[in-house]
């Protein structure tokens, strides 16, 4: 009787040992890291040239004088709110001037290529040149033209135009 009991006790002990060994002793630890990223609104405008030139031409044969630098590349890059309106405008600082002579700046027009870029007519009031919604990188071109006329006084005219890109 005692022998049977002893054998049984050893068997139970072995079973417990095997069970314990097979139960798995993996240890774990965890750490949580919080990632924060800030994207501030920003805008960047790049024009392919700093000046455009309209050469002299016969008004009969060249009623519209194209700028020699056409097409002018333009790049608009902005980070803005996803629903924010990103706008590009052009505003002339005055008419084309040559001493006391002027050519109305509205005689200068442009056409546009590229998504979001729009054609327009130069003016001393800001004119839309492009618009987009939210962030993005946009490339296009502007091609400028000066309406020709026998009424223009001979001279060298010039004026500056300010392009403004806004990304709220």
Residues in touch with another protein (CB under 8 A): 1-2, 5-6, 8-10, 12-17, 19-21, 24-42, 44, 77-82, 84, 134-137
- Cα–Cα distance between 89 and 166 in angstroms, integer? 9
CB of 79 or CB of 111, closer to another protein: 79
CB of 55 or CB of 168, closer to another protein: 168
CB of 79 or CB of 91, closer to another protein: 79
- Cα–Cα distance between 98 and 157 in angstroms, integer? 4
Element spanning 11, H or E: helix 2-22
Backbone dihedral angles phi then psi of residue 136, each to the nearest 5 degrees: 160, 170
Backbone dihedral angles phi then psi of residue 57, each to the nearest 5 degrees: -155, 155
State the minimum distance, in angstroms, from the CB of residue 127 to another protein: 25
CB of 31 or CB of 100, closer to another protein: 31
State the minimum distance, in angstroms, from the CB of residue 167 to another protein: 8
State the minimum distance, in angstroms, from the CB of residue 148 to another protein: 40
**Other Cβ atoms within 10 Å of 87 Cβ, number:** 20
Joined tokens for residue 26: 């993996």
**Other Cβ atoms within 10 Å of 68 Cβ, number:** 11
CB contact set of 129 (below 8 Å; sequence gap of 6+): 88, 89, 90, 110, 112, 117, 118, 120, 142, 163
Backbone dihedral angles phi then psi of residue 123, each to the nearest 5 degrees: -160, 160
State the minimum distance, in angstroms, from the CB of residue 48 to another protein: 16
State the minimum distance, in angstroms, from the CB of residue 114 to another protein: 15
CB of 75 or CB of 124, closer to another protein: 75
């Amino acid at each position: 009787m005692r022998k049977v009991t002893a054998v049984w006790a050893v068997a139970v002990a072995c079973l417990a040992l095997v069970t314990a060994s097979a139960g798995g002793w993996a240890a774990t630890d965890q750490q949580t890291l919080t990632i924060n990223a800030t994207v501030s609104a920003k805008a960047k405008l790049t024009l392919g040239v700093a000046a455009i030139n309209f050469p002299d031409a016969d008004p009969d044969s060249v009623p519209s004088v194209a700028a020699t630098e056409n097409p002018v590349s333009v790049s608009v890059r902005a980070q803005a709110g996803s629903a924010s309106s990103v706008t590009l405008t052009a505003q002339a600082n005055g008419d084309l001037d040559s001493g006391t002579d002027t050519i109305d700046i509205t005689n200068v027009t442009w056409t546009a290529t590229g998504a979001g870029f729009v054609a327009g007519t130069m003016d001393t009031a800001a004119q839309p040149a492009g618009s987009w919604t939210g962030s993005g990188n946009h490339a296009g071109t502007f091609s400028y033209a000066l309406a020709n006329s026998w009424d223009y006084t001979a001279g060298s005219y010039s004026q500056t135009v300010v392009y403004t890109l806004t990304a709220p």
